[in-house]
Amino acid sequence: MKGLRLLLKLLLVASTLGTQGQRQVYFREEFEDGDGWKKRWVESKHQPDYGKFQLAAGKFYGDKEKDKGLQTSEDAKFYALSARFTPFSNVNETLVVQFSVKHEQGIDCGGGYVKLFPATLNQEDMHSESKYYIMFGPDICGFGNNEVKIIFHHQEKYHVNNRTIKCKINKDTHLYTLILRPNATYEVKIDNELVISGELEDDWDFLPPRKIKDPYARKPRKWDERPQIEDPEDKKPEDWEDFEFIPDPEAKKPDDWNEAMDGEWEEPLIPNLKYKGQWKPRIIDNPNYQGEWVHPEIDNPEYKPDPTICHYYNISVLGLDLWQVKSGSIFDNFLLTNDEEFAEEVGNNTWGLRKDREKQWREVYEEIQKKKQAEEAKKKREKEKEREDDIWGLDEEDSEEDLEEEQGNDGQMLEDGAARAFRKNEL
Ligand SMILES: *[C@@H]1O[C@H](CO)[C@@H](O)[C@H](O)[C@H]1NC(C)=O
Ligand SMILES: *[C@@H]1O[C@H](CO)[C@@H](O)[C@H](O)[C@H]1NC(C)=O
Ligand SMILES: *[C@@H]1O[C@H](CO)[C@@H](O)[C@H](O)[C@H]1NC(C)=O
Ligand SMILES: *[C@@H]1O[C@H](CO)[C@@H](O)[C@H](O)[C@H]1NC(C)=O
Ligand SMILES: *[C@@H]1O[C@H](CO)[C@@H](O)[C@H](O)[C@H]1NC(C)=O
């Protein structure tokens, strides 16, 4: 009886303490239970032809089972898939958004980001216009357009980061982490290394600027901004010849010159042998130089601090709402928590443990692929030559089928070969 009462008391104390300060894991998905994810993730039906996600580890990986994630499987498609969790708020709490993505296909144009949605989202109708709170992750399209986008919803508008954060564009798996703190600072890490940090207010246009140029300040009329001037003391020498041409002193007016008909006679011009070019005074440092005038700033009367920036309530869905030209990206290791250090540890124990093996395997895979391609090209050349030599030719359709079959087998052999070579490498 006594024990029970004590327990109840303790529970009461615990509940009044609330959840603040304790580690919270709001969502974690590492796809470790086979087809189980199909029950947790909902495909949108907003469009009839969204691309299909499949569970796969890809062509190379650190661990065939543990590295399975959601892979986009169809080219030139929109994708819309999401998972729901118990609603939470990040007010007065740190929020960490973390996931890994591998663009093993060599992505040319496509999204690699996640979105966090409010509980009101209808997952079956999720689409690119659905209201979201946060979008975070790499977005790649075309040469040089490879950035980490961070978009926040605030007062019915979306605000995108105005400092550029480059993302990774190679084929390896990378870990992306966004940390939002209650003191309105943020951090982005890629592969558990800090790439950018700052204050939310400074790097998104949530609010008007804190300071503005004083509209009443004017540059004084006499403010001297010229670092150098012509020397006023310098004078043109008396004997300076600055006529490039002079009248020929030896020319004579022709005898038959008729002033009435021909106009007044003038000596023809000849080059002046003493010509020294245009005289210019020498340049000296301006003794009155005052430096560039700086417009004084004042506090912006329009500015009001807003403590609710990035305060979200009922965060409840994580979605992949993407467009991909070339498919093959694999998303894995999703984590939403309030604990920065825990997120780093989870990153270390998932992506971090397997990244080196994956990279080794990728290198072997690419090596074998290169060889196979060279062989195929050679075979093709030989076949073409045979065809040219054979005056009767071959049945077109048959030969194409042959080629397809062969390539299919080669593809399988290539993967087996890479796996074998990699295992051998490991021993
Ligand atoms: C956040 O903290 C402030 C100041 O301690 C408090 O007034 C407020 O109620 C808290 N809000 C939530 C949602 O916990
Ligand atoms: C915000 O919080 C972080 C982590 O608690 C701390 O390291 C940082 O100095 C704080 N920054 C400001 C501007 O308060
Ligand atoms: C980003 O936006 C803030 C707020 O509007 C502004 O003060 C800052 O100058 C901008 N920074 C850049 C690099 O554009
Ligand atoms: C969060 O969701 C609950 C349950 O639907 C609702 O009662 C509450 O008003 C929501 N809170 C906010 C701030 O939207
Ligand atoms: C994660 O790994 C890095 C590199 O090994 C290490 O420096 C860091 O302390 C680890 N972090 C945690 C939280 O375990």
Contact in structure between 249 and 267 (CB atoms under 8 Å)? yes
CA dist., res. 38 & res. 171, Å (int): 26
Look up residue 156 and give its amino acid.
E
Residue 423 has a pLDDT of: 61
Contact in structure between 108 and 142 (CB atoms under 8 Å)? yes
Would the CB of 181 count as within 6 Å of ligand 2?
A: yes
Q: Give the mean model confidence (pLDDT) for residues 234-253.
A: 88
Contact in structure between 187 and 150 (CB atoms under 8 Å)? no
CA dist., res. 128 & res. 111, Å (int): 12
Residues having CB closer than 6 A to ligand 1 are: 89, 91-92
List C-alpha distances in Å: 208 to 55, 84, 319, 379. Answer: 45, 35, 31, 65
CA dist., res. 34 & res. 36, Å (int): 6
| Average predicted confidence (pLDDT) for the chain | 88
CA dist., res. 292 & res. 226, Å (int): 8
Phi and psi, residue 259, nearest 5°: -60, -35
Q: Residues 132, 133, 136, 142: is their CA dihedral positive or negative? A: positive
CA dist., res. 202 & res. 190, Å (int): 21
pTM: 0.76
Share of the chain above pLDDT 70, in %: 86
- Closest to 312 measured CA to CA, from 28, 35, 92, 138: 92
- Has residue 18 got a pLDDT over 60? no
Contact in structure between 360 and 117 (CB atoms under 8 Å)? no
Q: Which ligand is nearest to the CA of 120?
A: 4
- Closest to 372 measured CA to CA, from 415, 401, 402: 415
Produce one character per residue of 14-23: b if its CB has 16 or more CB atoms within 10 Å, e if not.
eeeeeeeeee
pLDDT tens digits, one per residue of 390-418: 765 555 544 444 444 444 444 455 556 56
Q: Whose CA is nearest to atom 13 of ligand 4?
A: 313
From 335, 348, 350, mutation site for ligand 5 pocket: most ligand atoms within 8 A of C-beta: 348
255 — pLDDT class (breaks 50, 70, 90) = confident
The CB density around residue 394, as the number of other CB atoms within 10 Å, is 13
Q: Which ligand is nearest to the CA of 315?
A: 4
CA dist., res. 101 & res. 53, Å (int): 14
> In this structure, which topology does domain 22-209+308-353 adopt according to CATH?
Jelly Rolls (2.60.120)
10 — pLDDT class (breaks 50, 70, 90) = very low
Per the listing, tokens 């000596």 go with: 267
**Quick one: tokens of 68?**
């399975």
pLDDT tens digits, one per residue of 324-357: 999 999 999 999 999 999 999 999 999 999 999 9
Per the listing, tokens 């590295």 go with: 67
Contact in structure between 100 and 31 (CB atoms under 8 Å)? no
Would the CB of 119 count as within 6 Å of ligand 4?
A: yes
Ligand 1 atom closest to residue 18's alpha carbon, by position in its atom list: 14
How does strand 146-154 pair with strand 134-141?
Answer: antiparallel
289 is in an annotated binding site: no
| Å from CA of 20 to ligand 1 middle | 10
Query: What is the separation of C-alpha 164 from the centre of its chain, rounded to a whole number of angstroms?
Result: 7
pLDDT tens digits, one per residue of 132-152: 999 999 999 877 789 999 999
CA dist., res. 425 & res. 362, Å (int): 12
pLDDT tens digits, one per residue of 60-100: 899 999 999 999 999 999 999 999 999 999 999 999 999 99
Ligand 4 atom closest to residue 119's alpha carbon, by position in its atom list: 2
Angle 132-194-164 (CA atoms, 0-180°, nearest 5)? 60
**How is the chain split into domains, by residue range?**
22-209+308-353, 364-426
